Amino acid sequence: MPCYRKRDFPVAEIRRFLEPGPVVLVSSAYKGERNIMTMGWHTVMEFVPALIGCLISSGNHSYDLINRSKECVINVPTVDLARQVAGIGNCSGAEFDKFAKFKLTPQPAVEVKAPLIAECYANLECKLADASLRDKYNFFIFEVVKAHAPRAPKYPKTIHYRGDGMFMVAGPSLNLRRLFRPGML
Amino acid sequence: MPCYRKRDFPVAEIRRFLEPGPVVLVSSAYKGERNIMTMGWHTVMEFVPALIGCLISSGNHSYDLINRSKECVINVPTVDLARQVAGIGNCSGAEFDKFAKFKLTPQPAVEVKAPLIAECYANLECKLADASLRDKYNFFIFEVVKAHAPRAPKYPKTIHYRGDGMFMVAGPSLNLRRLFRPGML
């Protein structure tokens, strides 16, 4: 299991973790209950405030916890956790505690009651910002209010879902800074 | 430049291309004008109808063309086109024709007037489905009405933006099908 030494990370810069499109683990809590779900459908929506739009199906046990608490944590796992990510996405938290079942460590967050997942590379504490498309599309817009990430590795080996049980593991970095205008960096 | 032999691809399965989170090229046309923009903020929202939510900043020249035509094509480039992707994201189509400047080939689409970009791996013809969050967040929801993709390679080397001029190139595939419940595949 990976173990990261994390520090506060500027919320305006969390696109670094989410824009490449990794599958993430969403943790939530409400009145003594807690859960984890696997989520692949999300997008950055704004730098400041740091907004994330995402799909949380109403069929998920997490939907109720998030809907009621209006909070969650978006945790970014790496390839070391691939089996847990797939396992979490293929069972329901209505039946058991996923932290215990998948041997993941809940840690207290600062701004929300949902727990961080210690083994994930980055943890983004989120508060519900806009639910206007929730009933029509299961689409939630969250504001990231606090972020935790390690200094190293700078470019984590995240996993990206293609559907049909197939994942893509993050590959090499490509530096194209020389092609960018200064204002675009 | 890559050259793909494409065929019709089922629109209900286009998550395969977009869920891993690649940066895409959005082509548009309106009244004799056409343009291309680079887009990194998008998410799958539904299988059927095939919905994609994405951010198109009102400061972009493409915003007007898409807003007026209510159509676009989402083109999925591979690493072969990385320099063009960065270049297209760092200049404005108000000044010149990006197809000519970046030596990309426009091809007629079937369901929309916006052109496909021939050199891209996949082309998704889109019609505007919901603009209710456009004015507040620049968020557009499109329905993919027709898709074109080649049989091979099955797993293209897409590029994924981390910000700050740095990209991640799609790496190895990881098959975790054995961990999936039949209904989840």
Return d(Cα B25, Cα B85) in angstroms, integer.
Answer: 7
In the prediction, which pLDDT does A124 show?
98
List of E strands, chain B: 6-9, 24-30, 33-39, 42-46, 51-55, 71-76, 106-107, 116-117, 122-130, 139-150, 159-163, 166-175
- Mind listing the pLDDT tens digit for each residue in B76-113? 999 999 999 999 999 988 888 999 999 999 999 999 99
The answer to whether the CB atoms of A171 and B172 lie below 8 A apart is yes
Percentage, residues of chain A above pLDDT 90: 94
- Mind listing the pLDDT tens digit for each residue in A102-152? 999 999 999 999 999 999 999 999 999 999 999 999 999 999 999 999 999
The answer to whether the CB atoms of B179 and A53 lie below 8 A apart is no
The answer to whether the CB atoms of B169 and A169 lie below 8 A apart is no
Mutate to test the interface with B, among A43, A121, A140, A178 (most CBs of B within 10 A): A43
In the prediction, which pLDDT does A26 show?
98
How many CA within 13 A on the CB side of residue A114? 30
Q: A95-125 burial string, b = 16+ CB within 10 Å, else e?
A: eeebbeebebebeebeebbbbbbbbbbbbbb
Asked whether the beta carbons of A89 and B184 are under 8 A apart, the reply is yes
Percentage, residues of chain B above pLDDT 70: 100
**Which among A148, A151, A146, A169 is positioned nearest to A159, based on CA atoms?**
A169
Contact B55/A at CB under 8 A: yes
In the prediction, which pLDDT does B95 show?
84
- Mind listing the pLDDT tens digit for each residue in A139-179? 999 999 999 999 999 999 999 999 999 999 999 999 999 99
Return d(Cα A101, Cα A135) in angstroms, integer.
Answer: 31
pTM above 0.90, yes or no: yes
Residues in chain B within 8 Å Cβ distance of A171: 157, 168-172
Mean pLDDT, chain B, whole residue set: 96
Type of residue found at A158: T
What are chain B's domains? 6-184 (2.30.110.10)
Return d(Cα A139, Cα A44) in angstroms, integer.
Answer: 13
The answer to whether the CB atoms of A174 and B41 lie below 8 A apart is no
> pLDDT band at residue A86, thresholds of 50, 70 and 90?
very high
- Mind listing the pLDDT tens digit for each residue in B41-60? 999 999 999 999 999 999 99
In the prediction, which pLDDT does B84 show?
98
In the prediction, which pLDDT does A42 show?
98
> pLDDT band at residue B151, thresholds of 50, 70 and 90?
very high
Contact B53/A at CB under 8 A: yes
Asked whether the beta carbons of A17 and A73 are under 8 A apart, the reply is no
The answer to whether the CB atoms of B175 and A169 lie below 8 A apart is no
Return d(Cα B146, Cα B50) in angstroms, integer.
Answer: 10
Residue of B19, B55, B164 with shortest CB distance to A41 = B19
Residues in chain B within 8 Å Cβ distance of A74: none
Mutate to test the interface with B, among A162, A169, A181 (most CBs of B within 10 A): A162
Q: Is the pLDDT of residue B117 over 90?
A: yes
Contact A90/B at CB under 8 A: yes
**Which among B70, B1, B62 is positioned nearest to B35, based on CA atoms?**
B62
Q: Is the bond leading into B153 cis (omega within 30 degrees of zero)?
A: yes
A-B CB pairs within 8 A amount to: 183
Residues 104-163 of chain B with CB under 8 A from chain A are: 132-133, 137, 139, 141, 155, 157, 159-163
